[in-house]
Amino acid sequence: MNALLFNVTLGIYFLATVTYLAYLVKPRDSLGRTSHWLISIGFLVHCAFTVDRYVEAGHTPITNLHEALSFFGLALVGTFIAFERRYKVFIIGSFVTPLAFVLMVVSSLFPSAITPLNPTLMSKWLAVHTTLAFLGYASFALAFGAGIMYLIQEHFLKSRKLGAMYQKLPSLEMLDEINYRCLTFGFPLLTFAIISGAIWAETAWGTYWSWDPKETWSLITWFVYAALLHGRLTTGWRGKRAAILAIIGFCILLFTFLGVNLLMPGLHSYK
Amino acid sequence: MTTDNRGVVQSVWDFFCSLKLSIFLLIGLAVTSIIGTIIPQGPPAPEYLQTISQAKFKIYAALGFFDMYHSWWFLLLLYLLTINLIACSIKRLPRVWKIISEPTLVMDEGFEKSLSLTHEVKVGGEPAALKDRAAAFLRKEFAEPRLTEVDGEYHFFAEKNPYCRLGVYVVHLSIIIIFIGAIIGSLAGYKGYAAIPEGGSVSTIESRSGKQIDLGFAVKCEKFSVSFYDTGAPKEFRSILTVLENGKPVPGYENVKVIVNQPLTYKGITFYQSSYGPTGEGGVFHFTVRERKGGAPVPLTVRQGERASLPGGGTIQVLEATQEVRSVLPQFSGPAARIEVTPPGGSPQPFVVFRDYPKFDEERGGNLIFTYEGADEKYYTGLQVAKDPGVWVVWLGCALMVVGILLAFFLSHKRIWVRVARGRVTMGGTASKNQAGFQLAFDELVDKLKSI
């Protein structure tokens, strides 16, 4: 049942990726509507998969790489749908669905067996801490997507090749606005994730902060996004520079999420 | 003060007030923090020292890289950031406070031009009569208005969430409070470790810096147990602790269960389950033994390090035992013991017996068939001991930070002005955040204003 739900999600995300990319090349309304339906259904199936696994495992399914990547995909698609409804920037889907599909493919490469919970993770904070963190990651991923689109769009404008893609991409102002909006969600979520992690660390290890690699790297990410937010207050850090910084920020975040767990010893490594 | 001096003070002040400094410090902290995640922190292990050259070691040690988050230059960056955010707040807070406490109540022509959202509606009737309708409109659709009368024109001002402008400063304050909490913790607190054997107690612990610290009371470990998953991975470490004052149990602190994520706190000192191990003494092992030719199984108790006699002569001795054998013999699971049986007049025979495979020993072909029943092995519990009087200050800071961030990111200070003059009503508005969203709300208000 669990594997079936996972594979159905994977399949739907694949179809959505195809239709969203096709939409980018040939912007027909019917393609757009189909894509939107596909990703929404995919999200529901993905939710069902996650709930089913939660019930089976008895804890938030996020404790090995298979689960964590899938959870990231779920948070990403969910955040995208919320943003899409709010800002009507449908085209971001052409960026988000391929990413969600890749996350699911990579997730499927890792062993899917349910791993028993190590004593440290047996805490109500597991659900709170990880959900906050992954929703934050998802917002930053959208900011990253908006940043990439900004650079593409700017390239079109500069080279004066205004093709179909140029017409479909939102205006530079809109992309900058989306970038900023994503940061204003991602940054609070990241902050709350760090605070909830500190509370958990205090009850589990007796210290709210121990400069563990994961803690340090999330603080590094926090510093970078804090710098970006303050940079926007001075007019110079909008537009292209903000787009580039959102991209750099997300690369650091990816390292915090995956690099630290895979490369550095510590309390967050997936075993 | 001479003008020169004032010039110096002014430029130092400007330096600390600058947002460029904030960004530089944030990026600086981000980049330098990476060092501590690459170079192992704490006294360097010999294995690590072999991988770096002597010269490198000297440079690292001189720069404090082995304890870089407490090195003078890292702390300096943190102090500079603190000064920077205090200075920035002092510089900008009075202006923001003025916007909140002394709002612009009258929208004159000049102010109207500075607003990005304005709209004028032609309405017939006397201003005095329109006034009441405009007030009712604002009260119903937006917020309670304040009326000012200037030269026969009526000016209304209404606002929502003015205090959210303080959110940023609440966040800045919260960071300072967290730093204060951390400093209190490092000055007045300690972290240490205690190993208590089952049945034993401790009243002093060793801090991480190697100092002996008197707790002022004693902690007794009544019992320790560990349970495992089927895979052999540990599931729960559980200590039963009792706090003793003058040798007597403290009511309410008797037989307290302490597991990971569920520590025990007494008099500001907290005990966290962190490790365990066999004490290597006093363990008691249980077996049953029966003769191959038949007869009832006989229970047998063997103490650690001692020989016990077997029915019909001979002795048994436990060489080693484990609660979970999987890590040694992957094809088996559950408790197991390696024992040595010496038959009367024979040579010692070592072999392994299992609790969960009672038939296993039949295969061995000996006269006596052994089954392992488990051990009352004596363990010690390893407890992380921490006293941190600053932790509540840190939590206060965290709570403030959450409030500040909610104010700063999710609320917007929205202001609406309405001017009622003869024949026309003019409305202007502005929001501190999300202008695009506010414009939609403003346009709706304009639509409703047309029908007042």
pLDDT in tens, chain B (452 residues): 556 777 888 888 888 988 889 999 999 999 999 998 888 887 777 778 888 888 888 888 888 888 889 899 999 999 999 999 999 999 999 999 999 999 999 998 889 999 989 999 888 778 888 888 889 999 999 999 999 988 888 999 999 999 999 999 999 999 999 999 999 998 999 988 899 998 889 999 888 878 888 999 999 999 888 888 877 777 888 999 999 999 899 999 999 999 988 899 999 899 999 888 877 665 788 888 888 887 888 888 888 778 888 887 888 988 888 877 887 788 888 888 889 998 888 888 889 998 888 888 888 878 888 888 887 777 889 998 999 999 999 999 999 999 999 999 999 999 999 999 888 899 999 998 888 788 989 999 999 888 77
Taking only residues 189 to 248 of chain B, the set having a beta carbon closer than 8 angstroms to any beta carbon of chain A reads 191, 229-231, 233-237
B384 in the same domain as B254: yes
Looking at the fold, whether B254 and B140 belong to one and the same domain comes out as no
Is there a single domain that holds both residue B199 and residue B241? yes
Q: What is the mean pLDDT of chain A?
A: 88
Report CB contact under 8 Å: B388, A203.
no
Per-residue pLDDT, A271: 40
Please determine, for residue A221, whether its predicted confidence score (pLDDT) is greater than 50: yes
Residues B227 and B367 in one domain: no
Range of the domain at B302: 284-375
* Cβ separation A188–B410 shorter than 8 A: yes
Q: Which chain A residues are Cβ-neighbours of B36 within 8 angstroms?
A: 211, 216
Q: Are residues B137 and B76 in the same domain?
A: no
Sign of torsion, CA B29 B34 B39 B40?
positive
Quick: pLDDT tens for B74-124: 999 999 999 999 999 999 999 999 999 999 999 988 899 999 899 998 887
In a domain, B129, yes or no: yes
Q: Is residue B407 part of a domain?
A: no
CA dihedral A77, A83, A87, A89 (to 10 degrees): -20
Residues of A with CB under 8 A from a CB of B: 116-120, 122-123, 177, 184-185, 187-188, 191-192, 195, 198-200, 202-209, 211, 213, 216-217, 219-220, 223-224, 226-227, 230-231, 233-234, 252, 260, 264
Within an 8 Å CB–CB cutoff, is residue B276 touching chain A? no
CB B154 within 8 A of CB B420: yes
Which residues fall within 8 angstroms of residue B142, CB to CB, at 6 or more apart?
B158, B160, B414, B416, B445
Q: What is the pLDDT of residues A32-58, one digit of tens each?
A: 888 889 999 999 999 999 999 999 888
Measured distance CA(B360)–CA(B314) in Å, rounded? 21
Q: What is the mean pLDDT of residues A45-72?
A: 91
CB contact under 8 A, B233 and A116: yes
How many whole angstroms separate alpha carbon A16 and alpha carbon A23? 10
- For residues B176 and B270, state if they share a domain: yes
> Which whole-number Å values give the CA distances from B319 to B278, B304, B326, B352, B430, in the listed order?
14, 8, 18, 10, 82
Angle between the N-to-C axes of helices B391-410 and B167-188, in degrees from 0 to 180, rounded to the nearest 10: 170
> Is the domain of B54 the same as that of B145?
no
Q: What is the pLDDT of residues A227-247, one digit of tens each?
A: 999 988 765 788 888 999 999
Q: Do B423 and B338 share a structural domain? A: no
Domain boundary among B95, B116, B150: B95
Domain with B444 in it: what CATH number?
A: 3.30.310
* Number of structural domains in chain B: 4
Q: How many CA atoms lie within 13 A of B235 on its CB side?
A: 11
> Is B352 inside any structural domain?
yes
pLDDT of the residue at A26: 78
From the list B386, B313, B374, B298, the residue with the least C-alpha distance to B345 is: B313
Nearest alpha carbon to residue A141 among A76, A47, A205: A76
Tell me whether residue B406 is in a domain. no
Strands B212-228, B234-245: pairing is: antiparallel
Is B440 at the interface with chain A, CB within 8 A? no
Alpha-carbon torsion (A45, A47, A50, A53), positive or negative: negative
Are B107 and B197 in the same domain? Answer: no
ipTM over 0.85: yes
Among the partner-chain residues A200, A217, A230, the one whose CB lies closest to the CB of B23 is: A230
Please report residues of A whose CB lies closer than 8 A to that of B231: 116
Residue B29 lies in a domain: yes
* Residue to substitute from A180, A184, A208, interface B, most B β-carbons within 10 A: A208
Taking Cα atoms as reference points, which of A186, A214, A220, A188 lies closest to residue A201?
A214
**Same structural domain, B266 and B140:** no
- For residue A155, name the pLDDT band (cuts at 50, 70, 90): confident
Tell me the pTM: 0.83
Which among B69, B264, B398 is the top mutation candidate for probing chain A, defined by the most A β-carbons within 10 Å of its own β-carbon? B398
Interchain proximity A206–B270, CB inside 8 Å: yes
**Is B286's Cβ below 8 Å from some Cβ in A?**
no
Nearest residue in A to B397, CA atom: A195
Together in a domain, B90 and B122: no
The one-character DSSP state at A120 is G
Residues B290 and B346 in one domain: yes
